[in-house]
Amino acid sequence: GNSVTQMEGPVTLSEEAFLTINCTYTATGYPSLFWYVQYPGEGLQLLLKATKADDKGSNKGFEATYRKETTSFHLEKGSVQVSDSAVYFCALMGSNSGYALNFGKGTSLLVTP
């Protein structure tokens, strides 16, 4: 079946540091890949997406590239801010799994001033 594996958190970074959160997936066919962000006490917000191999999703300074050869979709940001502190979820929607999103366990990020 489909699954997503994310790096364990929490991740603590100083403001303006470089961020990478690793995400790898297992899926049949050609899944679509997503990063969602969850701020404390809130629901999930779509951060970025990629629907086919080599696509790069980007938003608010965050980027992730769909790498089919390594089955990865790592999230990166060149310079994090305190306001980026949140939990980040990698997710996939399989091409043959209807509408279900399979989420990773989430990675908590804390950015300190």
Partner 1 sequence: DAMVIQNPRYQVTQFGKPVTLSCSQTLNHNVMYWYQQKSSQAPKLLFHYYDKDFNNEADTPDNFQSRRPNTSFCFLDIRSPGLGDAAMYLCATSRVDIYEQYFGPGTRLTVT
Residues that bind partner 1 (CB under 8 A): 32, 34, 36, 42-46, 49, 51, 89, 93, 98-101, 103-106
Is the CB of 12 or the CB of 79 nearer to partner 1? 12
CA distance 47 to 63: 9
Q: Closest separation between CB of residue 100 and partner 1, Å?
A: 5
Choose among 104, 72, 73: nearest CA to 89: 104
Choice between 84 and 102, CB closer to partner 1: 102
| Shortest Å, Cβ 41 to partner 1 | 8
- For residue 67, the minimal CB distance to partner 1 (Å) is 19
* Number of C-beta neighbours around residue 40 at 10 A: 7
Tell me whether residue 17 or residue 24 sits nearer to partner 1 (CB atom): 24
